[in-house]
Each structure stands twice: as structure tokens, then as C-alpha cells.
A and B are shown apart, each in its own frame.
Chain A
Amino acid sequence: MLIYAFDRTLDGVLAAVFDAYSLRQRPDALIGEGEPLPLFCDESHRVATTEEKARRVWKGLEKHLSHEAMRMLAVSFLSEDRELDTPLFHYIYKVFEAKRSLERNFADPDVLFVTNTARRVMHERLRMMQFIRFQKAQDGTYLGVVHPDHSVLPLIIDHFRDRFQDQPWLIYDARRQYGYYFDQREVTRVTFEDTASLPFDLRTGQLAEELLSENDQLFQRLWRTYFKAICIKERMNPKKQLNDMPRRYWAYMTEKQ
């Protein structure tokens, strides 16, 4: 069995494809650098990631795949799923091997796996658009804290920039410790150096009370009241509620706090 070790970046996967073709090899699996080799491993190779290799492979892919499929590849990598590496590698490898585009061949397990992973990430992107809750701070900034399974913030900033273009906002990923700040002109990626001095609670997303704008509490109460009032008791269906709004998102949602 032939194993490639790479640096766990998307560029790394692309560079691995480059190496495989230049060495005329076909590795069976990809593992992260420093991970122990699996049993029955005969040979391994360490992929040296360079921008040049990645760029050339990406450019080559553009010749064979549609715009949509290219996006799916990039999106699937945001899942941060370790199981994705090998199927993603094989998918790209096969694209260059096949005579025709195979992006719609869902009978191929690698294509199906990458497509399904991308679909899962896009689903969580939608969930973020649904469930982010902003609180208004005294300086007029709207703060929303989330804890997504996949690293989906890069996929949602366009939506929020388009929608809330006249209000400054900060969307923060509590799991990965980074966020995006919009100053009514452009979006910048931000991280806080010292997590102890954060103005909000990482587990609930609640902004410190002295920083909250004057009647934000009132609107939060109004929203909770509305949330309770709109429910029809004769139709109680907690199973469907959990299905559409899984409990892992509740901690950051105003109506469930």
C-alpha cells in the first residue's frame, strides 16, 4: 500500500495530485503529516506543498470541471472532515485520468462522497443564515456568536453583507476562535488574541450587560414572547422541531436561552 502524507490544506491535496502524476504513482490513501502510518504500508511519500503545484492542478481542473463542480470541491474541504481527504484526492486524480467529465457520475463512490460532504456543508451554511442571532451593542455593532460543525463562515459573509449593509456587525465562530467584522464598507477577518478578555460569553454568545444597547433586552423579551405565542398547543411536535432546529444550535439562540 502506498501512502501520501500532506499538510492538511486544500493546496496540499492539489499538490499531492501533482506529485502522484509526476512520480507516476497512484497512492491508496492520504494521511496528515505526523499521523501514524496504517498497517500494511509498504511505501510512503511526503508531499511538499507549494503554491505553484496547487495552482497548476487547480487550473487543469478548470478545463475539465464545471464552475459548479469546482465550487463543490472547495466547499467540501470546509467540512474539516478528515475522512474526506482520500476521496477528494481520488476524485481529482480521476478527473485527469478520465476522458470525460465525471462530476455527475454519482455511482462513483468518491464523487458521491465529495458531493454529499459539500451538500452537508451547504446545509450548515443555510442553518447559519437561519439561526444566527444578533445582539446590539452600545456602539451600534451587532454581534452574533455561533458554534458550527463545519467552518462555514466564509460562505455566509456575502449574504450578511448584502442584507445588513447599513449596520456594522461581527459574526464570531466560538469553536474555531475567529470571526468576520463588517464596518459598513468591507469585511475583515478578526481574531481575539486574549480569549479571557472577550466582551461576550463563548458558551452562550451573550454580550456583557454593560455593553448591551439600551433596549436590546426588551427586544429579546419581545422575541421570546412571540416565539411562545405563535405555537399552537394542540399541534405540539417536538420531534419535528428538533429535526429542523437541532439542539446543538440552541445555546446561542435568543428564543431558547
Chain B
Amino acid sequence: MLTERTIEKLRILAESAKYDVSCSSSGTVRKGKAGMVGNTVGGVGICHSFADDGRCISLLKVMLTNYCKYDCAYCVNRRTNDIRRATLSVSELEEITMEFYRRNYIEGLFLSSGVVRTPDYTMERLVAIVRDLRTVHRFNGYIHLKSIPGASRELLAEAGRWADRMSVNIEIPREESLKLLAPEKDHQSVFQPMALIQQGVLENKEDRRRLRHAPRFVPAGQSTQMIVGATGDSDRDILRMSSALYQQPTLRRVYYSGYISVNTYDPRLPVLKQPPLVRENRLYQADWLMRFYQFRADELVDDLHTNLDLDVDPKLAWALRHPEAFPVDINRADYERILRVPGIGVKSATLIVNSRRFARLTSYHLKKMGVVMKKAKYFITCGELSASYANPIVGVNEMHPERLRPLLVSEAQRKRAALEQQMTLDFGNNEGVTTTDGTDKTD
């Protein structure tokens, strides 16, 4: 039976869970089943609400308990933190999930937990809840389960049978930095469960080839998260790690979480007045470019440019570094090359390659289709924008990238980026650290 006390517990545990950014309910389509509640829609998933910080609320993101035996510097639930602690009972959590789902508040459950006693003890309780939801409450909606590093193989195997997606967070891309902030953890403890889950998925795929009705194992794959700005790791470290992860067949999403100063007293952590939101946004843009625009990580960041440009988005930055790739002829070029034009996205690129079979496209058509001509016009030729003598185009090659760049950066964008750079404090003892524009700032 739920009481006033439950409301308070839910508040505490939601506040503890909110720094985990993953929220998606995508990756698997499962129709409703007779006698069960719920389905999953796949595709982009459904966000049921948007909190005041603009982040989507798709799953009931909550911890079973926020007691934890670890003391990771970046985590709000670390052992030495003086925060309110609570534990939801198994029946409370199940009832809240079911009732929320039936009212169309949520798409499913995202369950994680602090580590109490041993990893196995904690994992066992998480698995028990998920099993109960599926078998007792006949819940057929989405379940995202955090796997506890160090939990046994058997528990992971059972969890995978009930959950749609499982995740283990890498948190810090370079192992040295991770060791500094969380001495009790290493990369091995993250990659091992990841590998186990992947093995389970691949074995299950094999089984299903022979037995069509074999129960599915983690059908929506895995996801992970990295914290941005808590250590001196550059965007190159982060994107290289993401790119390596996306090579894995079961890893679907990498999330980036701009570090929020939760533990300001810890000298190992930077003091940020505001989270690095612009940088986080640029990382997501780069992530999208890798997943949907066929960019490689080393095209976006390299030894010369270890961090993404905060003033312009990574696609425009690439275009300005590579004027030789332009202009692109809208009426002739391959889909892949059209995708690389700043101002043209997946949607308009698809419209373009479909429509140009019927008519020669002009900038009027492009505008109607939703192309951002303000940007794209410097990088394309189309119908009337041709390089004829009488009517020369003014593109990236004619203007030179360094003169074009200021035209494409809006004042508001520049200000936001500049403000964030001022907030970045240097890590005195950590070598190899550069602030985003390559200069040292100590203010």
C-alpha cells in the first residue's frame, strides 16, 4: 500500500537517478500480447513528457536504493556524501510502475541502484523486480536495466531475458582519469559485463535462427554514458571511445552527460559554475554525424583539433576545413556527398535524391524542402546557382573559409560558447589539458 512516505521516497530516489541521461525507449518493436499490459513501439520511441530542463521523460527513471558502498568522486550518491538516503520496497516500485504505465505517464521502467553489500546481492534484487514485473504483473512494456559492475554471469544472463535494454556506464573515457576519480573501479569492470551481454545477444541470435520462438535476449541492445568536463579528457578521447563502441554489434547509443558540480568539495574535480552544455551539444552532434551521416571520428577530431569547435557545429567545422570537397552539385552528386553539405539533413537529402529524378532542382525548391539555405548556399551548385561566367557563384572556395566563417556564426551562439569557455577552470596538475580554444585560461 502506498502512503505519503512513498511520495517522499520517490522524490529522493528520482533525484538520485536523474544524472543518468539515458532515457530512450527505442530499439525494439513488440506488439501487445493477450493477457499482458503494454507494447513497445520501436522507431524513435515515445517521450511522454518534458521536464523543465527540457530533457525528455520516457521511462520512470528511478533507483531502487541510493545507498552505495562506492565513493566515486563524480557521483552524487557516493558513500561520503551527506544526502538523504532511501530504499523503495519491491512491491512499491512495482505498483508505481504499473499504475504510471496504465495512465500513459511512462513508456516503461529504467531501473538502477546503488551497490549495497555485494554487486551480486544488488543485482539479484534488481533481477527479481524485473522478473516479477514480467511474470506476475504481466508487464509487456519497456524495461531498461542498469547492470551492476561485478555481478555474476548467471545474474546477467537472467536479467537479459526480462530486460529490453541493459547498460553499463563507462563514465570516464580514459582509464587514468577514471582511476583518479574512482579508485575502486577500472575499465575492465565496465567492459566485462558489456562483453557478457553482447555474447548473450549473439548466442540468442544463433538460437533464434534454429528455434523461432526462443525468448529474446536484450532485444534493444546496450547503451552507455560518458561524463563530459569532469576530467581533462578531450573530445578526441571521447569520440574515439564512442566510435570504437559503435563498432560493437549490440551497442546502440552512447550518451554524453555534461558534468554538473555535485561534489564541490572534492579537490580532484573542477569547479564549474554551469555545466558544459555547449560542449555536450557539440558531442551529440558529432555522435549523430558518426551514426547517420557516415562521418568517421578522425574526420571530426584529430591531433590538430583535439576538441570540437564550440562556435560552429562539427559538420560546418569539417566543411570549413575541407573546402576542396565543395561545391556539391545538388542535381548530380551522390546521397553521401549531399549529406555532407552544411544545412542539409537526412530528411532534405532524401527529398532531394527523390525529387531530382522529376525536375532540375533550384534553390527555390531546396528552400521549400526545408534546406537551410543561409548555410547551404556557400557549398552547393544547383539549377540557377551555377558557376557560369555571367553568373559566378560565391561559395566557400571563392570566399575562403576564414572569411566565410564569421558570416555563419551567430552572435548569440558565439556568446554562449565564450561564456562557457570562461567558466572552464584549468586543472593545474593534470598535464596534456587544453581548454577548448587551445589557450590556457586561469581566470
A residues neighboring B (CB under 8 Å): 102, 104-109, 112, 126, 129-136, 142, 144, 159, 162-167, 215, 218-219, 221-223, 225-241, 243-245, 253-255
Contact = CB atoms under 8 A, between A and B. Distances in A.
Interface residues of B, number: 58
Interface string B276-302: 010000000000000000000000000
A219 B32 contact: no
A235 B50 contact: no
A225 B6 CA distance: 11
A235 B358 contact: no
A164 B60 contact: no
B439 interface: no
Given A222-B7, A229-B14, A235 B102 contact: no
Contact of B49 (A163, A219, A227): A227
Interface in B6-43: 6-7, 10-11, 14-15, 17-19, 31-32, 34-39, 41
Nearest to B17: A230
Given A102-B358, A136-B102, A240 B37 contact: no
B47 interface: yes
Contact of B7 (A107, A130, A225, A227): A225
A205 to B, nearest CB: 12
Given A107-B365, A130-B46, A232-B260, A159 B41 contact: yes
A108 B358 contact: yes
A212 to B, nearest CB: 12
Interface string B351-394: 10011111101000100110000000000000000000000000
B34 A226 contact: no
B18 A231 contact: yes
Given A226-B60, A235-B277, A241-B52, A163 B32 contact: yes
B46 A105 contact: no
Given A112-B369, A144-B104, 7 more contacts: A104-B358, A219-B100, A222-B10, A227-B57, A237-B54, A241-B51, A244-B56
Contacts, number: 159
B244 interface: no
B321 interface: no
Contact of B53 (A133, A164, A225, A236): A236
Contacts of A142: 102-103
Most chain A C-beta atoms within 10 Å of own C-beta, residue among B51, B105, B260, B351: B51
B99 interface: yes
Contacts of B103: 133-136, 142, 219, 223, 254
Nearest to B3: A218
Contact of B14 (A230, A234, A240): A230
A243 B52 CA distance: 12
Nearest to B260: A234
Contacts of A136: 102-103
A126 B46 contact: yes
B39 A162 contact: yes
Given A142-B102, A227-B49, A232 B18 contact: yes
B61 A230 contact: yes
A144 B48 CA distance: 14
B199 interface: no
Contacts of A112: 368-369
A130 to B, nearest CB: 5
23 contacts: A105-B359, A106-B368, A107-B355, A107-B356, A107-B361, A129-B41, A134-B102, A134-B103, A222-B100, A226-B62, A227-B49, A229-B11, A230-B17, A230-B61, A232-B18, A235-B55, A235-B258, A235-B277, A237-B52, A238-B54, A241-B52, A243-B54, A244-B56
B373 to A, nearest CB: 15
Given A225-B10, A226-B14, A235 B49 contact: no
B317 interface: no
B52 A165 contact: no
A78 to B, nearest CB: 20
Contacts of B105: 133, 223, 254
B140 to A, nearest CB: 9
A207 B357 CA distance: 55
Contact of B47 (A108, A130, A167, A219): A130
Contacts of B277: 235
B275 A235 contact: yes
A230 B16 CA distance: 9
Contacts of B354: 104-106
B274 interface: yes
